[in-house]
Amino acid sequence: MTINRLFTFLLFVMCQIISAQSDSITSLKEVFVSDKNLKNYSVSQSVLKLNDSVINKNEALLTDLLNFNSTLYFKEYGRGMLSTVSFRGTTSSQTAVIWNGININSQMNGSTDFNTISGSDYNSISVKAGGGSVIYGSGAVGGTVHLNNDLLFFNRFENNLRLDYGSFNTIGINYKTSISNKKWSAQIGLSKNSSTNDYKYLNRYTWRGEQRWNQNGQYDIITLSANAGYKFDENHILKLYSQTSNTDRNTSLVTESETKSKYVNGFNRNLLEYDGTFGKLKTNFKTAYIFENYQYFADNASKYFTYGKTENLITKLDIDYHLFKSTHINGIADYSRTNGYGTSFGSHVREISSAALLIRQNIGADWKNEFGIRKEFTNNYKSPVLFNIGSSYKFNSWYNLKLNISKNFRIPTYNDLYWDQGGNPDLKPESSYQGEIGNVFTFKNLTWTQNFYYMKITDMLQWVPGSDGIWTPQNQDKVNSYGTETLLGWKKSYGKNIFALNATYAYTVSQDEETKNQIFFVPFHKATGAISYSRNKISAYYQILYNGFVYTRADNNPDEIINDYTISNIGIDYDLKFLDSFKIGFQVLNLLNKDYESLENRPMPGRNFNLYLTLKF
């Protein structure tokens, strides 16, 4: 079957689906996740949970999942390359990534590269909009992305295997096994996602007239996860989470004659957690060791590289006391010690301790209040007092109003403080005040969330050239962001036909206070949509993403922009009902062969294909 015919076949199937007016798959509706504080202290904010059925419909790396299913905006240096996020108009280091309750943004550059994380390594991924520094610390300004592994205690032995093979030699092997009984629970996972990534650049030719293609773009990401829990009894549980990953990635070229370089980075994360309940008192003790490193080879062919490493030890004690019938109070103390060393910032130790007090109160079933305050203590920078106040009130069965005000921050990174030359040891953290109003409407099959927010960020860190020509970071800019987010979820079944629709839209204005210019690489508009249908053994889905134009310059020069683009994916899978489940699926990505890029001179691939098998046994 030629591709064109296959295409027609798929379109035909989709027409059937639409005319049958039926169903689906994925529910992106707002639900609570297992992470304790995320569950307990987010009633006044919006949390979008993406479960494994959504994760499975997207490409392996986290950028694609979040790009097509949330309001987050990503800037990618080509497919699979460095990918940085902007949430509510903030910078890449103002979105914190939280792994099982621990902030894992890089100590070196403050941000997370979303193309180094495979979605399938987690049971669920949640996106929480708005400030969260009181609980999650530095970087929880625009919002937080939560990577969660859930340990369940019941008798099971379950294996999940997914194999992908797609265009550009893109290969995915994702395996997860869950073994548990009433006392023990264990999860072991392996993911390997790689690609030669040598896609053609649509409509682009070299000066010699040769077709241009993505050179030196290959990547290989391997992650091993092992999580285990032991339940002494109902009141005492010990959990251990461990994850090791290595991303071996070349960096794609802007021009063919560039020196080919390579960036290898990895991490090792270990978290030991103890939960104990003593009557009205609940304790949660966490201790984590996080190792992170990178090696940059300016020339692939050479043995030389520059590197950076950090080792971070975190201990955290969280005591939850059930004060009255309706009120809980949490006291949290934590201590973090980071030892960082690298070619460009020498060797430095950073110690931070903090204390926080959280109160939550439920007045009846419909009115929930939360309050939090936190202060950090460190020699490295002056730390502001952070707070969070929120309320959620359910007026009736279909309308829930949420209000939240918070102060959040982003601390200077190792690069900011110690970079040789230029690091500035006298920096303050970036800090932000923000307020938001959330409206949640729940009808029979429909959930509609409409958030409005306003955020004021001061002391933004900006690297600027000094009079001596050396670049150095300064606390200089102030940014005001405001906007609205719409999250829609609809699901309905007609007999055996299940039909679902999910959509998000974000309108974001993020202005430099002085110039009134839109912050560059923040789109005013972003929208996503997904329709899915399933009936018995077959399921099909269609995803669409609209990314509005972005300025690429601080002066908002209208000639220097990345054009808006709309891209879509389509997929279908069929369950052969062998073992517990044996699905064979096919996806067409960038269905309409759109020529687009998210960064200048970094073209993304045209139409491409992916074939996959998922087995459950």
Partner 1 sequence: MKFSKLLLIALSISLFVSCSSDDDDSPKGAYANGFFILNEGSTDAGTVSFSSDDFSIFTKDAYKAENGSDVLGNFVQNIFFDGDRAYIIAGGSNVITVVNRYTFKLIAKIDSGLANPRYGVTKDGKAYVTNANTYSYINPETGDTDDYVAVINLATNTVESKIDLNATANRLILEDGKLYITEPNSSTKLLIVNIATKAVETVEIGLRGDSIEEENGTLFILKAPYTGSGEIVKVKISDKSVSRIPFPESLAGTRGMDIEDNKIYYTAGSAVYAMDINATTPSTTAIVNTPATNIYGFAVENNRIYIADAAFNKDSKAYIYNLSGVLQKELTVGVGANGFYFND
- Label the pairing between strands 184-195 and 170-180: antiparallel
The single residue among 304, 324, 365, 558 that binds partner 1, judged by CB under 8 A, is 304
> Residue 182 and residue 232: Cα distance in Å, rounded?
10
> Residue 479 and residue 484: Cα distance in Å, rounded?
17
Check binding of 559 to partner 1 (CB under 8 A): yes
Q: Which is nearer to partner 1, 210 or 233 (CB)?
A: 210
Burial class of 379 by CB neighbour count within 10 A (0 to 12, 13 to 18, 19+):
exposed
Smallest separation (angstroms) from partner 1 to the CB of 247: 20
The interface with partner 1 within residues 42-61 (CB under 8 A) comprises: none
Check binding of 563 to partner 1 (CB under 8 A): no
Check binding of 21 to partner 1 (CB under 8 A): no
Q: Which is nearer to partner 1, 342 or 585 (CB)?
A: 342
> Residue 274 and residue 257: Cα distance in Å, rounded?
55
The single residue among 163, 554, 561, 584 that binds partner 1, judged by CB under 8 A, is 554
Check binding of 299 to partner 1 (CB under 8 A): yes
Check binding of 520 to partner 1 (CB under 8 A): yes
- Report whether the peptide linkage leading into residue 21 is cis, meaning its omega lies within 30 degrees of zero: no
The single residue among 181, 183, 258, 576 that binds partner 1, judged by CB under 8 A, is 258
The interface with partner 1 within residues 440-479 (CB under 8 A) comprises: 465, 467-470
The single residue among 439, 450, 552, 581 that binds partner 1, judged by CB under 8 A, is 552
Smallest separation (angstroms) from partner 1 to the CB of 465: 5
Check binding of 557 to partner 1 (CB under 8 A): yes
Secondary structure (DSSP) of 203-234: EEE-TTSPEEE-TT--EEEEEEEEEEEEEEET
In the shown chain, the binding pattern of residues 202 to 241 toward partner 1, with x for contact by CB under 8 A and - for none, equals --x-xx----------------------------------
SS (H, E, C) 146-173: EEECCCCCCCEEEEEEEEEEEHHHEEEE
> Residue 146 and residue 151: Cα distance in Å, rounded?
16
CA distances from 36 to 148, 301, 330 (A): 11, 48, 12
Q: Which is nearer to partner 1, 169 or 557 (CB)?
A: 557
Q: Which is nearer to partner 1, 235 or 259 (CB)?
A: 259
CB 431 within 8 A of CB 412: no
> Residue 97 and residue 117: Cα distance in Å, rounded?
11
The single residue among 158, 426, 560, 580 that binds partner 1, judged by CB under 8 A, is 560
The single residue among 254, 401, 446, 561 that binds partner 1, judged by CB under 8 A, is 254
> Residue 515 and residue 509: Cα distance in Å, rounded?
13
Check binding of 343 to partner 1 (CB under 8 A): yes
Other C-beta atoms lying within 10 Å of the C-beta of residue 300: 12
Interface residues with partner 1 (CB under 8 A) are 204, 206-207, 254-259, 298-299, 302, 304-306, 343-344, 421, 465, 467-470, 520, 552-555, 557, 559-560, 599-601
